[in-house]
Amino acid sequence: MKTKLWQKTSQTASENLQKVEQFTIGNDNELDMFMAAYDVLGTLAHIEMLESVGLLQKEELSVLQTELKRLFNQIQNGQFKISEGVEDIHSEVEFQLTEKLGDLGKKVHSGRSRNDQVLVDIKMYSRARLESIVKLTNQLFEILLVKSEENKAILLPGYTHFQIAMLSSAGLWLSAYAESLTDDMELLYSAFKVVNKNPLGSGAGYGGSLPINRTKTTNLLGFETLNYNSVYAQMTRGKTEKTVASALSSLAATLSRLSMDCTLYLSQNFDFIAFPNELTTGSSIMPHKKNPDVFELIRAKCNKIQSYQTQFFNITNNLPSGYHRDMQILKDDYFAMFDEISSCLEMMIMMIQNISFKENILNDPRYLPLFSVEAVNQLVSTGIPFRIAYQQVGLSIENGTFEMPKLSQHTHEGSKDNLCLDEIRSAYNQTIQQFPFDKINQALAKLSQE
């Protein structure tokens, strides 16, 4: 049994000790592999800072950097693993350095704690996963706008209370979800700003007496700024997860709602849209079925994603300041959340790329009442007061004399004939341009390069 980083002497193996370790460590040695590369990058920044303040010699720094970069490449190539009996990634990296370099490997922990290590690892992991989410969302956004432009002339019924209400169009429907992604992206950027602050150097939550330079590690790791107060830096564990989950929840809600619309519109009772056969599924007994399983699963998965923020709030609620082991159980669902939203985005991109719309949907007599507001507005345009026009059209519908009016152009911003796609794209791009992904990636590449 390997000695733990926190042990002063070796312990004799016992059944009780094994039970405690199994319960407290859980599957951390598996989950920590998600953070392995970031733990090594954080250590590379930390030792460069230690050398700059005189806590490492230049020759020692060079030796440590070579070995850490070797470990980093192993992780990137899938050749790294956490050894049996080792608690976490932080312990594994230090053990491997010590096995290879002796006492020099034991110097890397000066001025930090596993508490701030896991904080910086989670924040760096979150930044990278948010970058991938943003890129996928960009793809979906562009596809929605392209499809909106292509299908803007196709009229659809709009609904309120699940009853036919007013004229809509395929372009208006699709661009609504593009604009929804615009607001989702603002929330993702807000979450990113919270994440992009460096906690490294806060130690166990109360700083320390060594003359470390936290601004230096902030710059080396590409963070925008640092969490200044060491107590608060520790308090960002849990807050980071909740903030990110809240932003992803908004994105998931958009995907879930779009999935619900597509599920309805694909059904025979609506029959507005179609997809290639290979994108729908069949029935073992009903040969006519083309089931929207992809959309149903996106809907379910995204509703599950929306539940994570509540779970994270409940786990961390009413904790006092300082570190608590409760935080450990956030990892499993936090890492899974990114995989789930990514897969939902990927599938939604594929589905919307392949969507097609039925022609002449509104020729069906059931949709005649959709044009009632058109008729009212045309009367209003002649000078008739709105309420009188409303009553006249309403009576004609009730007595069966209502006839479809000539369609007018809808000219106001955001209507079916004035979709404002350029304005939506501009608003979206204003947020996208604020993400400092290039700066972060350049900083990390510089740290890890041979």
Q: How far is CA 319 from CA 60, 199, 324, 359, in A?
A: 41, 19, 8, 58
**Cβ proximity of 404 and 155 under 8 Å:** no
Query: Which CATH number does 15-110 carry?
Result: 1.10.275.10
pLDDT at 450: 73
Q: Where are the domains of the chain?
A: 15-110, 115-363+420-448
Residues in the chain: 450
pLDDT at 10: 57
Residue tagged 């604009």 (tokens) = 179
Class of residue 343 by CB neighbours under 10 A (exposed 0-12, middle 13-18, buried 19+): middle
Instruction: Please give the average per-residue pLDDT across 82-111, as a whole number.
Output: 92
**Cβ proximity of 355 and 151 under 8 Å:** no
pLDDT at 7: 55
In whole angstroms, give the CA distance from residue 221 to residue 213. 13
Each residue of 38-61: pLDDT tens digit?
999 999 999 999 999 999 999 999
Asked if the model's pLDDT at residue 26 lies above 80, the reply is no
In whole angstroms, give the CA distance from residue 222 to residue 210. 23
Torsions phi, psi for 14 (to 5 deg): -145, 165
pLDDT at 42: 97
Q: Give the pair of three-digit tokens for residue 444.
A: 């990390």
**pLDDT band of 6, cuts 50, 70, 90:** very low
pLDDT at 164: 93
Pick the CATH number of 115-363+420-448 from 3.40.1650.10, 3.40.50.2300, 1.10.10.410, 1.20.200.10: 1.20.200.10
In whole angstroms, give the CA distance from residue 276 to residue 293. 13
In whole angstroms, give the CA distance from residue 73 to residue 76. 5
> Which residues face 418 on adjacent strands?
415
Separation of CA 438 from chain center: 19
Q: Got the DSSP string for 222-242? A: T-SEE--SHHHHHHHHHHHHH
Element (H, E) at 166: strand 163-169
In whole angstroms, give the CA distance from residue 187 to residue 258. 19
Q: Which of 3, 2, 19, 26 is nearest to 331 (CA)?
A: 26
Least confident of 14-28, 186-200, 229-243, 378-392: 14-28
Q: Got the DSSP string for 110-163? A: TT--HHHHHHHHHHHHHHHHHHHHHHHHHHHHHHHHHHHHHTTT-EEEEEETTE
Strands 225-226 and 197-198: parallel
Instruction: Please give the average per-residue pLDDT across 161-180, as a whole number.
Output: 96
Asked if the model's pLDDT at residue 5 lies above 70, the reply is no
Residue tagged 């079916």 (tokens) = 416
Each residue of 176-234: pLDDT tens digit?
999 999 999 999 999 999 999 999 999 999 999 999 999 999 999 999 999 999 999 99
Q: Which of 373, 438, 383, 355 is nearest to 140 (CA)?
A: 355
